[in-house]
Amino acid sequence: MARQTARTAATLKDFETEYMQRLQGIAASHDLLVNQNWTGAPLNELIRRQVEPFVETNRANLAISGPDIIISAKAAQTIGLALHELATNSMKYGALSTPKGKVSIDWEFHQTGGEPQRLKLKWEEHNGPPVTPPARKGFGHFVIDRMATQSLSAKVTIDFRPEGLVWIIDATAQALQSEPEFDAGDGASA
């Protein structure tokens, strides 16, 4: 993370700011996981902890909705970091950079035929400045695209629509579910 941040930072101060913000994003996910004994995290709480710091002065800029689900520690870390990157970019360039801009985050379960149940999480920006695809792809793009795809075996869609960025992650519910707790046995030995 440090190397990737250093590659795109124009100055040492920029590096320090961006790196500290990313560490704070990771810390927010870890704090939530520690409170849950690393058994998983409620998705709605993870979203709030990652995005609300970016809308502190105007919470009307954020809409969150979806069914209750506990996601695994691995999924919480991956999705938490992706949400942090999306919120950071939205604050700099997107909907959260304007007073009337809004981000809606929703998720739903879906199933097609005999396929396993899937969860689709969507980040959608509204009323921000016109969106254009970035000229270069840095660490943030790696996190919201490749890391999410590989870590969760998910399908990721990034749509730089002029009216607002849309990011969708679609993964099997099984890939996101909480891992079973470790069973250390009774400790008896013969």
Q: State mean pLDDT over 142-170.
A: 92
Nearest Cα to Cα of residue 156 among 61, 66, 85, 59? 85
- The token duo for 59 is 């919470």
Q: Domains in the chain and their CATH numbers?
A: 2-176 (3.30.565.10)
pLDDT score recorded for residue 75: 92
Q: What are the pLDDT digits (tens) for 10-63?
A: 676 756 666 566 556 566 655 666 566 667 899 999 999 899 888 866 678 999
Give pTM, 2 decimals: 0.77
